[in-house]
Amino acid sequence: MSALVITDLHAQVQTDTGPKDILRGVTLTIDSGLTHAIMGPNGSGKSTLAYVIAGHPRYTVTSGSITLDGVDVLAMSVDERARAGLFLAMQYPVEVPGVSVANFLRTAVTAARGEAPKLRLWIKEMKEAMADLQMDSSFAERNLNEGFSGGEKKRLEILQLGLLRPKIAILDETDSGLDVDALRVVSEGVNRFREATGAGTLLITHYTRILRYITPDVVHVFSDGRIVETGGPELADILEADGYERFTTVKTA
pLDDT tens digits along 182-200: 999 999 999 999 999 999 9
**Please, are residues 145 and 178 in contact by the beta-carbon 8 Å criterion?**
no
pLDDT at 176: 87
Residues in the chain where the model's pLDDT stays below 70: 249-253
pLDDT at 51: 96
pLDDT at 253: 41
Question: Which amino acid is it at 248?
Answer: T
**Measured distance CA(29)–CA(117) in Å, rounded:** 33
Continuous segment of H or E residues that includes residue 89: strand 86-89
Q: Which domains does the chain show, CATH number per domain?
A: 1-93+167-245 (3.40.50.300)
**Measured distance CA(8)–CA(27) in Å, rounded:** 5
pTM over 0.85: yes
Q: What is the mean pLDDT of the chain?
A: 94
243 φψ region: left (φ > 0), alpha (ψ -120 to 50), beta (else): left
Share of the chain above pLDDT 70, in %: 98
pLDDT at 249: 61
Please state, in angstroms and as integers, the Cα–Cα distance from residue 20 to each residue in 33, 104, 202, following that order.
35, 35, 25
